[in-house]
Amino acid sequence: MKPSPLPPPFGDPKRAVWKSNHHAYGPIGELLYSASHFGCAITTDLVVRQPREVEFSLHLCPFQYLKPLVTQTVRVFRSKVAADKRSILKDTPEIDFKMLHNGLRKISNADDNRRLRWYTTLSDWNNDQLSAIDFGKREACDCGADSPSLAHLIWHCPLTQHLRESDGPVDYLAGCGLPCALELGIPSAMPANPDSLPWGLSDYDPWSLGQLSAVAKFCDFKFSFGDDFVNAQTCYRDVLVNFPHLAGHNARQLFAFLRGPFGDLDLELPTVVGSHNLTTCATYTDGSLTSPTRPEWSLAGIGIVHSHRSVETPMHSNESTFAYCEHLDGALCMWAPLPGQFCSSTRAEVAAGLLALSSPLAMTIGTDSACFLKPF
């Protein structure tokens, strides 16, 4: 099969010609055609690749994460296209959809909710196109401003200044130079640099800490710049030294790259335990996940302890391939991070249990996971 040349990028006048000249044949053709529309490519072994994103395999990734992975791929591309076409999103190359949905749920006013939802549809219609069909024409503001936007009325119009001044947080935020999208409640994806403002670009902003402290105080939110913050700064600098190509990635993309792709999990069969060797070893397994409700920030890890296993007992290839091992007081301790863009605490518990089964000794397993225990 001969690879076809890349399609013209979105916005290129030749793209319409390319679209009308190319037709999809069969399910694989439809798949490749759709992928090119969403700014990604599918390799001959069905791996989906997109700029700045961790790749995933359509047939090897855990099935429960296939839909979220495809959804994220499409959202990333649609965000980028919308940012190029709509001036309101110009400083927001990626929207934090999770935060947006949480915010929308808290808006009780139906009009406000509907208005914000319209801006977040990422519609391809810009104001010029709306004007062309007689929508989107606006009267001048009473303050004299031409074509006043909603953001003008809320944040910039001198006639509404007294309303802003009557609300502490709004008055403060009006002087913070918020991106246009955030002025209307659309949050951008957070930059990776902990020194930046959550709504800023990746560059360091010397005012960010002061602004964050002030906003936290207004919202009565405890915000600490203690050890965790210093650790985050150190980690970010270490990552950039070791992986300079990750500069410019946002926080979600940086986390995804640090965890790595799901990869191929090709476990060898466990060692057969002979009937003469039925002295059981007490084994304890555990798996855990940080931030389980925010998969973009979650980190999964597993731990296994074989309480009586000497250094003479050979390691199984699964154990030496997938875990860090250390002998301690006659016990074998193993631990490992779990790669992949998504995870769950159940998956982490099951992974720990599966790896423990590779031990060449008969064992009893202690676990606090009902899901792992159920099949036994």
Chain residues binding Zn ion by CB under 5 A are 141, 143, 145, 157
C-beta closer to Zn ion: residue 148 or 185? 148
Question: Which of these, 256, 282, 236, 345, lies nearest to 76 by C-alpha position?
Answer: 256
Q: From the CB of 137, what's the least distance to Zn ion, in Å?
A: 17
Q: From the CB of 88, what's the least distance to Zn ion, in Å?
A: 17
Residue found under tokens 């899901």: 371
Distance, C-alpha 162 to centroid of its chain: 39
Name, in order, each residue with C-beta under 8 angstroms of 84's C-beta and a sequence gap of 6 or more: 10, 11
Name, in order, each residue with C-beta under 8 angstroms of 116's C-beta and a sequence gap of 6 or more: 104, 107, 184, 185, 186
C-beta closer to Zn ion: residue 31 or 174? 174
C-beta closer to Zn ion: residue 31 or 143? 143
d(CA 32, CA 43): 9
Q: From the CB of 175, what's the least distance to Zn ion, in Å?
A: 17
Q: From the CB of 153, what's the least distance to Zn ion, in Å?
A: 6
Backbone angles phi, psi at 302, to 5 degrees: -130, 155
C-beta closer to Zn ion: residue 58 or 145? 145
What is the biggest distance separating any 2 CA atoms in the chain, rounded to whole angstroms? 93
C-beta closer to Zn ion: residue 106 or 137? 137
Question: Which of these, 72, 23, 28, lies nearest to 50 by C-alpha position?
Answer: 72
Q: From the CB of 145, what's the least distance to Zn ion, in Å?
A: 4
C-beta closer to Zn ion: residue 131 or 147? 147
d(CA 68, CA 376): 30
Q: From the CB of 116, what's the least distance to Zn ion, in Å?
A: 20
Indicate if the alpha-carbon torsion angle 205, 51, 182, 290 is positive or negative. Answer: negative
